[in-house]
Amino acid sequence: MTRLSRDFYLGDTVRIAQNLLGCCLVRKLGEEWLVCRITETEAYVGRMDKACHAYGGRRTQRTEVMFGEAGHAYIYFTYGMHHCLNFVTEPEGEASAVLIRGLEPLLGLDTLSQNRFGKSFAEQSSYQRKNFLNGPGKVTQALALTREQNGLDLTQSELLFVTDSPADFGIPDAKTDFTICCGKRVGIDYAEEAVDFLWRFWIK
């Protein structure tokens, strides 16, 4: 399978958060492939971002994977109820990552829907379709991602990776023309000046 290389994740985190838009996140669940287009991201840069878990070199058991090799999954549990999926970026020791905030389902819709709502995609209400994958907790629930997948190597693992070649799955090229919007990140009121960083990106 074609997937993004290690070099992709080694660049500037804010730029990577934008470049991930339109790419496809692939999850293998059992024998089934689940494929979704990435539509919303947020950048977190540990060396100068008070919203980042590893700000100021804060190294804990939870954040350890952020200090490691780029291109790994950083999955954490928050508010006692949600998992959040991030991709580790930049060289080792920089502790930066991109949070995946939103997806568009492309393949495996019924399984994604069963994971989210316990019903098929066709059985979803209009409200459920509108709010299917528009939030980081919804993303991980639909893809059945938990702390068990924390640390997976996105450049090597068959269970989780990112591709810009969805044709491997019979899906037309996801990297079509679109407008990227930016704004403030969500849920970081504690982060002082970092609250105003325009590091949330989404497809218009």
Q: Domain extents for the chain?
A: 6-203
Beta strands 200-203 and 32-45, pairing class: antiparallel
What local confidence, expressed as pLDDT, does residue 80 receive? 80
Model confidence over 82-113: pLDDT tens digits? 999 999 999 999 999 999 999 999 999 999 99
How many Cα neighbours within 13 Å face the side chain of 182?
Answer: 11
Q: What is the C-alpha separation between 72 and 105, in angstroms, rounded?
A: 22
Q: How high is the pLDDT of residue 175?
A: 63
Taking a C-beta distance cutoff of 8 angstroms, is the pair 73, 152 a contact?
yes
Residue 72 is classified by DSSP as B
Burial of residue 70 (CB within 10 Å: 0-12, 13-18, 19+) is: buried
What tens digit of pLDDT does each residue of 121-142 get?
999 999 999 999 999 999 999 9
Report the percentage of the chain scoring pLDDT > 70: 99
- Give per-residue pLDDT as tens, 145-185: 999 999 999 999 999 999 998 888 898 775 667 999 999 99
- Tell me the C-alpha distance between 117 and 74, whole Å: 25
* Type and span of the H or E element at 185: none
The predicted-structure confidence for 49-76, as pLDDT tens digits, reads as follows 999 999 989 999 999 999 999 999 999 9
Mean of pLDDT over the chain: 95
Give domain 6-203's CATH superfamily.
Methylpurine-DNA glycosylase (MPG) (3.10.300.10)
The whole-angstrom separation of Cα 23 and Cα 203 is: 11
Which pTM value belongs to this model?
0.95
**Size (the chain), residues:** 204
Environment class of 79 (CB within 10 Å of its CB; exposed 0-12, middle 13-18, buried 19+): exposed
Helices H / strands E in the chain, number of each: 5, 8
Identify the pLDDT of residue 173.
73
User: Mean pLDDT throughout 14-35?
Assistant: 97
